Amino acid sequence: MKSILVRGAHIITQNDARQVLKGDILIENGRIAAIGHVRGSADETIDAQGDIIIPGLVNAHTHIAMTVMKGMADDLPFNDFLEKSFAIDAKRTNEDILAGARLGCLEMIRGGTTTFVDMYYAEDIIAKATVESGLRGVLCWAVLDREYTTQKGVPLENCQRFFSEHQGNEMIIPGIGLQGVYVCSKETFLGSKELADRTGMLMHFHLSETRKEVYDHKKRYQRRPADWLQEIGFLGENCLAAHAAWLTINEINDLARSGCSIATCPVSNMKLATGGVAPVPEMMKAGVNIAIGTDGSTTNNSLDMLGEMKTLALLQKSNRWDPTVVSAQQALDFATLGGARALGLEKEIGSIEVGKRADLVIIEGRSANIWPLRKESLVAGIVYCANAGNVKSVICSGKPVMLERKVLSLNEEQVLEESNKAMSGLLG
């Protein structure tokens, strides 16, 4: 692997001291070898004078193959949305899933995401697109009770097979994607836990996304979902719960004590009008690790993590009538360090530090929407001003996947054409 020297950037390190530096970054063997004033040269030099470098963003909850479904179920009441989405999803083929996954990876590259957590039932196909893209995917095979699935065979066994095929891969990390308490029994949750404890896989699941989900579960089991998961012994440090919008203080404390992380998805929840605003301030106070996810393109229409950070911060400020409640620095923490911790990868990614994987996003500093630049406001500029259009270059694990806005890992025109055909086929 060739060495790369990135010259002259403003570097938002996200290290423990949250240092913002002006200087260079040397990449060797896929890792960060030096930061600051680097003498000498490398196999490749990237001029980043005046630009801003941040760690690669972590999208902690999405369904990337659904990008070809964007716009197909907009502006509908939640039950109508589900009915329409499920009807379209039931028509999917391996070809359009691959096209959707490639389009999702392309969008994430252009938005500065280098690691994502996916939940779907065809992760073997999605893995192919992920490898092509050069991104890092934590691919969580959809697991649910057999009576609710359209998968051939037993979902948990399918997940185990997927793990066996990809274990030890640094860029394709298999996980267990439990759909939620509404289609997963106690046996399915505990069977998944046994597999996760044995293999080290992440357990990723939807949790308390809607009020109906919570009330239906409480009516059936006399327990709210998070209370029930704690009671049956499921929750632990290898758990990542998506949404987590309808939680009590007791449930938040259970999540904190167990070490479970959450992936808040503000745009998705707002667009579906499910009513709940994730209690992020209470989670922070209790010590719950927080990450950010976009959710899929039927509920969000976008995989833009820069936009998601801003929306999260503004939603929490507005909801609590408190402009201090989630700062720009905290929002960036959630999208980088929080995501890394949620995946157990905090020693590898999430910050720009010597020895870590070289996951870097170069953002054009001389942009009207970001300019003028001041060291003191660089983080706020990234969270409140920047958008995906400002991303110039993206490096994932030391390999450039986009340079000067040209995507290197995927044939962009081909991806766009194939995904358009896939969309047309689903609507036909």
Give the pLDDT confidence score for residue 80 in this predicted structure: 86
> Which of the residues in the chain have pLDDT under 50?
none
Give the pLDDT confidence score for residue 428 in this predicted structure: 65
- C-alpha to C-alpha distance for 309 and 299, rounded to whole angstroms: 17
At 33, give phi and psi (nearest 5°): -100, -30
- C-alpha to C-alpha distance for 104 and 321, rounded to whole angstroms: 35
Give the pLDDT confidence score for residue 172 in this predicted structure: 98
pLDDT digits 0-9 by tens, 235-261: 999 999 999 999 999 999 999 999 999
pTM of the model: 0.97
Please answer whether residues 363 and 51 qualify as being in contact, where contact means their C-beta atoms are separated by less than 8 angstroms: yes
CATH topology of domain 57-342: TIM Barrel (3.20.20)
Q: Where in the chain is the domain with CATH 2.30.40.10?
A: 4-55+356-407
Q: Where in the chain is the domain with CATH 3.20.20.140?
A: 57-342
Please answer whether residues 12 and 54 qualify as being in contact, where contact means their C-beta atoms are separated by less than 8 angstroms: yes
At 208, give phi and psi (nearest 5°): 50, 50
Q: Which helix (H) or strand (E) holds 424?
A: helix 412-427
CB atoms within 10 A of CB 220: 11
Please answer whether residues 372 and 323 qualify as being in contact, where contact means their C-beta atoms are separated by less than 8 angstroms: no
Domain 4-55+356-407 sits in which CATH superfamily? Urease, subunit C, domain 1 (2.30.40.10)
Give the pLDDT confidence score for residue 61 in this predicted structure: 98
CA distances (Å), 304 to each of 109, 122, 193, 318, 335, in order? 10, 23, 31, 21, 11
- C-alpha to C-alpha distance for 292 and 268, rounded to whole angstroms: 11
Which residue, chain included where needed, has tokens 């994730």? 278
Q: At what angle do helices 186-199 and 155-166 cross, to 10 degrees?
A: 10
Residue 79: Cβ-neighbour burial (10 angstroms; 0-12, 13-18, 19+): exposed
